[in-house]
Structure 1
Amino acid sequence: MERILVSACLMGRRVRFDGRAKTVDDALLAGWRAEGRLVPFCPEVEGGLPVPRPPAEIEGGVGGAAVLSGAARILTPEGSDVTRHFLSGAYSALALARSMGIRIALLKDGSPSCGSLRIHDGTFRGSVTPGAGVTAALLEADGIRVYGEDRIAEAAEYLGELEATL
């Protein structure tokens, strides 16, 4: 059975920066949960950040690949550099995925860790820009397909393709 790495906040865990969850009520997700496919994970908490914590964004909104290469940092509104926490969490997510043979992830879009299609632009004004977060970029670079919570049907289609080849 294919396992799916999933952002813990989407599963109702209160791990987001503001101490909240972003629970997704979706029949497919509920079915995967009942089947025991889901592996909840929060890279920010795993990387050592507390709950709650100050918000953080990738400087310049340049995306997770730039953070992975050392060309950008992740900062709080006060300018504190929290990059190392995000990198630690991303590499922990990758290690977990590899250890479990995970080939698909469902992550919270918009996050500096988990965003797959969009992230905040680094200005802390609520503006978003196309791009991936650090964890999403690292997983994708390793061949793990990453989907946001608004693309569960696409994730299900890919899951079907993976299982058809078993």
Structure 2
Amino acid sequence: MKKAILGLSALCLVAFTSCKEDATQKINSENVAAAAERDATAGDFPTINFDETEHDFGTIANGTPVQTVFKYTNSGNAPLVVSNIKSTCGCTVPSDWSRDPLAPGESAEFTVKFDGKGTNQVSKTITLTTNTEKGAETVKIKAFVEKDPNAPVSKAGSAAIKQVR
């Protein structure tokens, strides 16, 4: 049994060492150089910096549409791509952003429109899908929405029951 294991081990050793000579001859130096360059820049991600990450519209009347512009800069070492921008609901609409790569040091912007509906303090998050290390970046808008003075007033807990005859 020991002789069989020893013989099998020797056979495997010969098989593995004989393959090394053939494998080294098949390596393409151009591929090695391209892989080294790719590995050297693998950690270079774009970095996005916003002029402001939260915009406060202050106090607005219910139903008053407002908008703001978020400006950002690529402060990383690789081109920045913003592939999508979405909000938490349909009352907040991001628009006007470029899907083209943004070179390091360049700036861009996008617009966020808020329909002004809601009551009291309202906060919305806008998410950017990017090629940064995190993969997604967020900005926020907020506003204090006043009640509509023309809206009908309803008392909580009062209900009328009609009798049917």
TM-score, reference length from structure 2: 0.22
More strand by share: 2
Query: TM-score, normalised on structure 1?
Result: 0.22
Structure index of larger Rg? 2
Q: Which structure has more helix as a fraction of its residues?
A: 1
